[in-house]
Amino acid sequence: MRVAECFGRRARHIPEGELSGIEPWGRIFNDVLSNEKKESVVSEVLEYKSWVCLICGWIYNEEDGLPEEGIAAGTRFADIPDTWRCPLCDVGKDDFVAVEF
């Protein structure tokens, strides 16, 4: 953003390096310019859930996965194939519910 864009035709163009000499607007414009140049960093918080079988009580933890059955750690329950069965009592995914500890 340039000063001329903020004030319309009456403002003269001031190169970015010279904005600091104009008080108090110089500080404001320098802040705006520096904020435009910064990249936005978004931190993503991964919250894993645990799913319990309503029939036998076996628990699937998304964070751990089930490597012995080819399900990698971090695999969401929704991403497990619909054909997957409970390793303990052989029921389908429909018999599991999310739990919070």
Specify whether 24 is located in the same domain as 60.
Answer: no
- 11 or 56: whose pLDDT is higher? 56
The tokens describing 24, both together, are: 């108090």
Average pLDDT over residues 47-57: 96
44 domain-assigned: no
- Residues 97 and 51: beta-carbon distance below 8 Å: yes
Confidence band, pLDDT 50/70/90 cuts, at residue 46: confident
Q: Using one digit for the tens of pLDDT, what is the confidence trace for 54-83?
A: 999 999 999 999 999 999 999 999 999 999
Specify whether 56 is located in the same domain as 89.
Answer: yes
Specify whether 60 is located in the same domain as 87.
Answer: yes
pLDDT in the model for residue 44: 58
Total domain count, the chain: 2
Specify whether 33 is located in the same domain as 54.
Answer: no
42 domain-assigned: no
> How many of the other CB atoms lie within 10 Å of CB of 91?
15
45 domain-assigned: no
- Residues 49 and 78: beta-carbon distance below 8 Å: no
Structural domain including 71 reads 50-99
Q: How far is CA 57 from the centre of its chain?
A: 31
CA neighbor of 88 nearest in space, from 68, 63, 64: 68
